[in-house]
Amino acid sequence: MLGITFKENCPDIRNSKVIDIIHQLGDFDCTVEVFDPVADPEEVRHEYGIDIMTSPDQLTSTYEGIMVAVAHDAFRSLDLNRLKGRNCLVYDAKNLYPDADAYL
């Protein structure tokens, strides 16, 4: 999951609907890792009880699915192809990547 904040480039996590998506994916036994370089990891842990990654160095290359949930500027430089595992589905909910079809 790319992003957990309420809106792009803002650390505010109040009223973020991304947590609802994370919980729904968990209901389907999906393991969800969250990367958000803008959010405060301590605040996210306190409010939602989950640990997040804040550095791209923490990302692996074995993801079965990638969802762009928040359009942080920092995400524009990510190479999604480097993060994709085999048969990975990419869902760009924010249309951040104009060439998103290349990632399918």
The model's pLDDT over 68-90, given as tens digits with 9 standing for 90+, comes to: 999 999 999 998 888 999 899 99
At CA 41, angle to CA 84 and CA 10, rounded to 5?
Answer: 85
65 in a structural domain: yes
pLDDT at res. 101: 56
Residue 54 covered by a domain? yes
pLDDT for 103: 55
In a domain, 104, yes or no: no
For residue 89, tell me if it sits in a domain. yes
Is residue 77 situated within a structural domain?
yes
Q: What is the mean pLDDT of the chain?
A: 92
Q: Is residue 8 assigned to a domain?
A: no
Nearest-CA neighbor of 48 among 29, 23, 30? 23
User: What's the domain range around 57?
Assistant: 18-95
Residue 76 CB contacts under 8 Å (≥ 6 apart), including other chains: 96, 97
Domain count, the chain: 1
